[in-house]
Structure 1
Amino acid sequence: MKKILSLIASFFLAFGANAQVQEARLQASGLTCSMCSKAVLNALQKIPFVQKVDVDIDKQEYTLAFKAGAAVDPDALSGAVEDAGFSVAKLDLTAKLDPQKVEKDKHITIGGKTYHFLNAKGQELPATATFKVVDKSFVSEKEFKKVSSLSSMACVITGKMETCCTKAPGAAARVYHVML
């Protein structure tokens, strides 16, 4: 019996392991010079799961590649930018996904993190998909107000799994709100 349970658990872990955030495009706000850009670059390069960071100074945009199999934490990215004295204006994540259909307000686990899709319309996600993180620390206050009206679920405002969340591992677990 233990062997059967072990095989079943291994199957589900292997199936879920395919979903992985591979890349991000982060735009920082408040940068005024190349020294500012360098401060953000240095902060992002210190994050343990970041493999490589390329910067486009003109767009104030950073392209990040992540280490294979590493758990990517969007809050750590935002925190690094804030610790450097700036803020995140935009964060797009690109992930390798298992084939699945996504509906509005559906929660999907990618790389051990939960993502809540606010604007999905029953489409099949491609094997590689890019989506925008729209939580408070990833967009302007004005944009957050706009996107938070797309769902009546309480977790959109708190950023934590609430009773409205399906398959919630716990009321205090973090959930990221995203748009395709």
Structure 2
Amino acid sequence: MKKVHIIITSMVLMFSMQSNAQIVKAEIRATGLTCSMCSNAINKQLKSMSEVAYVATDLNTNTFTVTLKEGNSLTPKVFKEKVEKAGFFIGSLVLTAKAETIRQVGYIEVNKAPTNNAEVQIQILDKGYVTEKEFKKLSKSLKNVATYALNNEDDFHAKYIN
């Protein structure tokens, strides 16, 4: 009986952590856009996700600010896939997320986390989430982070920016 109680308690804790783990907002700067039709292609891909509440587009900077619905469990990989499906690439991906999201498996912190535990802003530094030029610079500066050179698509190297 005691074992069953422990298992049930563990499962409840696990599921409650997952429901709190989420990305609140994604700021995607896309590369390769030449016109408003390009922007529309990305916009359409981002809005096709059921987790998306709103997409704001800044054509001057080619930035898409994606506000997400409460309780989502998206990863940066989804945004990369959507932008690439539209025929473009991510030049920068900045996420606003609940702090516990970043502490989950898959996120590797490359700098010290801020002291507050509510929401944090991070930039994803992996190949495909920054420009090629930026990735080359980061490869040199992050050479001491063993996982960075591996380019595992399920690892997200996160730099806190607030």
- Alignment TM-score, normalising by the size of structure 2: 0.84
Aligned counterpart in structure 2 of residue 157 of structure 1, from 139, 149, 162: 149
**1:1-180 to 2 correspondences below 5 Å:** 1-15=3-17, 17-98=19-100, 108-109=103-104, 114-120=106-112, 123-148=114-139, 149-160=141-152, 174-180=154-160
Post-superposition CA distance 1:95-118 (Å, at most 9, x none): 1224xxxxxxxx721xxx621111
How much does 1:12 deviate?
4.1
CA positional deviation for 1:159: 3.3
Partner amino acid for 2:156? Y
Highest relative contact order (Cα 8 Å, sep 6+), 1 or 2? 2
Q: 4+ runs of 1 displaced by more than 3 Å?
A: none
Distance 1:126 1:7 in 2: 24
Percent of paired sites with the same residue? 32
Task: Provide the C-alpha distance between the structure 2 equivalents of 1:15 and 1:125, rounded to a whole number of angstroms.
Answer: 18
Q: Cα offset for 1:123?
A: 4.2
Residues 153-180 of structure 1 deviation map (CA, whole Å, 9 limit, x = unaligned)? 33212233xxxxxxxxxxxx81101111
| C-alpha separation in 1, matches of 2:64 and 2:128 | 17
- Unaligned runs of 5+ residues in structure 1 are 99-106, 161-172
User: What is the aligned residue count?
Assistant: 157
Deviations 1:57-87 (A, max 9, x none): 1111111012221211312211211121211
* Distance in structure 1 (CA, Å) of the matches to 2:18 and 2:75: 17
- C-alpha RMSD of the superposition: 2.3
Name the CA distance, whole Å, in 2 between partners of 1:15 and 1:80: 26
Partners of 1:25 and 1:119 in 2: how far apart? 20
Partner-residue secondary structure (3-state), 1:138: coil
Q: Which has the higher strand share?
A: 1
Residue 125 of structure 1 deviates from its aligned partner by 4.3
If the length of structure 1 is used for normalisation, what is the TM-score? 0.77
Question: C-alpha separation between the residues in 2 aligned to 1:42 and 1:49?
Answer: 14
Q: Deviations over 1:34-78 (max 9, x none)?
A: 111111111111123322211111111111012221211312211
Q: Which has the higher helix share?
A: 2
1:146 shift after superposition: 2.1
Q: Distance in 2 between matches of 1:82 and 1:16?
A: 27
- 8 Å CA contact 2:143, 2:149 repeated in 1: no
